Amino acid sequence: MAEGMVAKGLQDVVVDDTWICKIIGDQGKLYYYGYSIHDLAEHCTYEEVVFLLLKGKLPNRAELDQITRELKEARGLPYGVRDVIKSAPKGSIPMDVLRTAASALALTDPKPGDDSPEGRYRKAIRMVALFPEIVAADYRFRRGEEPVASNPKLNHAANFLYLLHGKEPGADAARTMDVALVLHAEHDFNASTFTARVIAATMSDMYSAVTGAIGALKGPLHGGANEGVIKTLLEIGEPANIKPWLAEKFKDKNFRLMGFGHRVYKTLDPRAIVLKKYSEKTGRERGTTKWFEMSNEIEQIMKTREKPLYPNVDFYSASTYFMMGLPPEIYTPIFAVARVVGWCAHVIEQQTHNKLIRPAADYHGEIDKPLPPIDKR
Ligand code: COA
């Protein structure tokens, strides 16, 4: 193969079969097991989506009760993991704490080597249940507060907000978080999921795969972008600054506007359509639509450029979370709280139809060079 013929970044390369998720990028469509993301966001809770992604079908009422019970029973942060979180040096990056704590979950698993289908399902439920507790414990330790115990009356999303703030959220905030979790739960072979699948394909364990995925999600070109979006909005500060700010930044051809562009979507990301509504709704509920309006104005400017760019999932999630009173450093961890189920579903799929993932590379150096002795190099 001639130099330059490689599909850089594996762009458009199909690397495996999957039954979990379908994206039609040029039409802005996204499906989990065949169900449109718009229907899922409107009609389902995160618990239903967890069941769908792990079992391949929507739960009936009895099955939903069962998985809700399983998720609640799996709550309760092990002391060892809590200590890991508490011992993080002051100023640690929250995604580093989450990655370390996720890895520590393996040490507190009663059967870490059980990779039977039941064992994998149990680990998936355990991670889904414990990720909110990890993120919230870190959030509270940083503020000099002790973690609070999960509230058995609350569903996954409402309990997450309860764990963060130590008080029951209102119905609107709980539903907004639930929708955000549904929208972020799964997205086929994105960078973090592919990372998880590569690790799983060595027949390593689910904790290792998810720990690696968290590392991939952290990057600003992936899940880290949502934190970048709010920093951008705060830096711009006022609507009047938007145009000059963008004009100045785009003088640098390497500038990347966080929350815009996507490898797969070449039109509006369907998740951004839903989150845009929640950004506006949350702004109205909180009595300030400024961040929503600024976001909308940026969207309008970007789509009328010579080379249009459209918002991705991170764009409107940032203003939504901000108006919910959540600090920027927690936005990428929230993404992980949602996506952990997608990673686990892919680990299960990979290991059920496994083939080691070991691609080839196009080498451009020399070979068979004579090896000079050390004094002659
Ligand atoms: N800001 C400015 N220009 C962007 C851009 C952005 N956010 N996203 C894409 N572009 C431009 C690139 O400059 C490039 O232009 P060129 O053809 O003139 O060189 C073109 O669009 C293609 O971009 P490229 O980076 O090659 O596409 P990709 O598929 O490799 O990248 C992303 C996809 C997501 C990494 C990229 O859009 C990006 O960096 N976005 C910002 C980070 C972000 O929001 N990430 C979250 C994704 S869900």
CATH number for the domain spanning 30: value is 1.10.580.10
Which tens digits make up the pLDDT trace of 209-225?
Answer: 999 999 999 999 999 89
Q: Are 160 and 174 in contact (CB under 8 A)?
A: no
The answer on pLDDT for 152 being more than 70 is yes
The answer on pLDDT for 4 being more than 80 is no
Span from the CA of 275 to the centroid of ligand 1 (angstroms): 20
Q: 146-155: long-range contacts at Cβ-Cβ below 8 A with a sequence spacing of 24 or more?
A: 147/77, 147/82, 149/76, 150/72, 150/75, 150/76, 152/72, 152/75, 155/45, 155/46, 155/47, 155/68
Residues 119 and 250 in one domain: no
Residues 68 and 188 in one domain: yes
112 burial via Cβ count (<10 Å: 0-12, 13-18, 19+): middle
Q: Tell me, using a 6 A CB cutoff, whether residue 221 lines ligand 1.
A: yes
**What's the rounded Cα separation, in Å, for the pair 70 and 151?**
14
In a domain, 289, yes or no: yes
Structural element, H or E, at residue 51: helix 46-55
Instruction: Look at ligand 1, atom 29, and give the residue with the nearest C-alpha.
Output: 263
Q: 112-119: long-range contacts at Cβ-Cβ below 8 A with a sequence spacing of 24 or more?
A: 112/205, 112/207, 113/205, 115/203, 115/205, 115/206, 115/351, 117/348, 117/352
Average pLDDT, stretch 40-65?
98
Confidence band for 2, pLDDT divided at 50, 70 and 90: low
In a domain, 2, yes or no: no
In a domain, 366, yes or no: no
> Looking at the 3D structure of the chain, how many domains does it have?
2
Radius of gyration in angstroms for the set of CA atoms belonging to the chain, rounded to a whole number: 22
In a domain, 370, yes or no: no
Residues 122 and 134 in one domain: yes
Instruction: Look at ligand 1, atom 35, and give the residue with the nearest C-alpha.
Output: 221
Average pLDDT, stretch 85-99?
97
Residues 218 and 232 in one domain: no
Q: Which domain holds residue 128?
A: 21-222+335-352
Q: Tell me, using a 6 A CB cutoff, whether residue 308 lines ligand 1.
A: no
What pTM was computed for the model?
Answer: 0.95
Average pLDDT, stretch 126-153?
97
- Output the CA torsion 137→139→141→143 (10° steps): -150
Q: Tell me, using a 6 A CB cutoff, whether residue 309 lines ligand 1.
A: yes
Residues 256 and 290 in one domain: yes
CATH number for the domain spanning 298: value is 1.10.230.10
Residues 108 and 198 in one domain: yes
- Reading the block at residue 159, the tokens are 């309990």
Kindly write down the DSSP assignment for every residue of 175-230, as one continuous string. Answer: HHHHHHHHHHS--TT-HHHHHHHHHHTTT--HHHHHHHHHHHHTSTTTTTHHHHHH
Residues 174 and 308 in one domain: no
Q: Tell me, using a 6 A CB cutoff, whether residue 280 lines ligand 1.
A: no
Give me the pLDDT at residue 5, please. Answer: 81
In a domain, 179, yes or no: yes
Q: Tell me, using a 6 A CB cutoff, whether residue 154 lines ligand 1.
A: no
Residues 43 and 161 in one domain: yes
- In degrees and rounded to multiples of 5, residue 101 shows phi and psi of -65, -35
Instruction: Look at ligand 1, atom 32, and give the residue with the nearest C-alpha.
Output: 262
Side-by-side strand order, sheet with 29-32: 21-24, 29-32, 35-36
CB neighbours of residue 304 within 10 Å? 8
Residues 199 and 254 in one domain: no
**What's the rounded Cα separation, in Å, for the pair 150 and 75?**
7
Q: What is the distance of C-alpha 69 from the center of its chain?
A: 24
Instruction: Encode 208-227: b = buried (16+ Cβ within 10 Å), e = exposed.
Output: bbbbbbbebbbeeebbbbbb
**What's the rounded Cα separation, in Å, for the pair 23 and 336?**
20
Residues contacting residue 154 through CB under 8 Å, at least 6 positions apart: 162, 168, 174
Residues 73 and 208 in one domain: yes
| Mean confidence (pLDDT) of the chain | 96
Q: Tell me, using a 6 A CB cutoff, whether residue 262 lines ligand 1.
A: yes
Residues 318 and 345 in one domain: no
Average pLDDT, stretch 242-252?
96
In a domain, 368, yes or no: no
Give me the pLDDT at residue 3, please. Answer: 64
In a domain, 188, yes or no: yes
Q: Are 276 and 283 in contact (CB under 8 A)?
A: no
Span from the CA of 85 to the centroid of ligand 1 (angstroms): 34
In a domain, 177, yes or no: yes
Q: What letter does residue 147 receive in the DSSP assignment? A: P
Give me the pLDDT at residue 183, please. Answer: 98
- In degrees and rounded to multiples of 5, residue 331 shows phi and psi of -65, -40
Q: Which residues are catalytic?
A: 262, 314
| Higher pLDDT, residue 219 or 5 | 219
Point out the ligand 1 atom lying closest to the alpha carbon of residue 312.
48
Q: Tell me, using a 6 A CB cutoff, whether residue 314 lines ligand 1.
A: yes
Q: Kindly report the length of the chain.
A: 377
Q: Are 31 and 37 in contact (CB under 8 A)?
A: yes
**What's the rounded Cα separation, in Å, for the pair 159 and 150?**
6
Instruction: Look at ligand 1, atom 47, and give the residue with the nearest C-alpha.
Output: 222
Residues 200 and 229 in one domain: no
- Reading the block at residue 329, the tokens are 């450093």
Instruction: Look at ligand 1, atom 10, and give the residue with the nearest C-alpha.
Output: 261
